[in-house]
Amino acid sequence: MSKSVIHSGICGFTTEVIARAISSTCSLIITSDCPAIQELAEELRQVDPMEEITYQGKGPLTLRLAREHCPHPACPVPSGIIKAVEVEAGLALPKDANITVMSTNDQ
């Protein structure tokens, strides 16, 4: 089992992703405070890890469904979902990723 906890930023929403490898797929359990991500989670229950890690072919199902359900393209949740899948499938090592945002107007 691999888990991502995503704190999305100024919206204040938190999402938890649990990925479990089942043969050549990963099952997903996604819980979130965000109504848009809750809608995405209803459809995104299982993915093919090899499809998730490339833009080749149809591209990641996570990103296709995010386009339908998540109104904010900068939302870090889809990337966090894909990271959990990568780790669970043995395609990446677990390591935190961070985005630090600063306004140059504050300096």
pTM of the model: 0.93
Distance from C-alpha of 73 to C-alpha of 70, rounded to nearest angstrom: 7
Structure token digits, residue 99: 């985005």
Structural domain count, the chain: 1
- pLDDT tens across 62-101, in order? 999 999 999 999 999 999 999 999 999 999 999 999 999 8
Task: Give the CATH number of the domain where residue 73 resides.
Answer: 3.90.1010
Count CB neighbours of 38 within 10 A.
15
Residue type, 2: S
Which residue segment(s) compose the domain that 32 sits in? 2-106
pLDDT at res. 105: 80
Distance from C-alpha of 47 to C-alpha of 6, rounded to nearest angstrom: 19
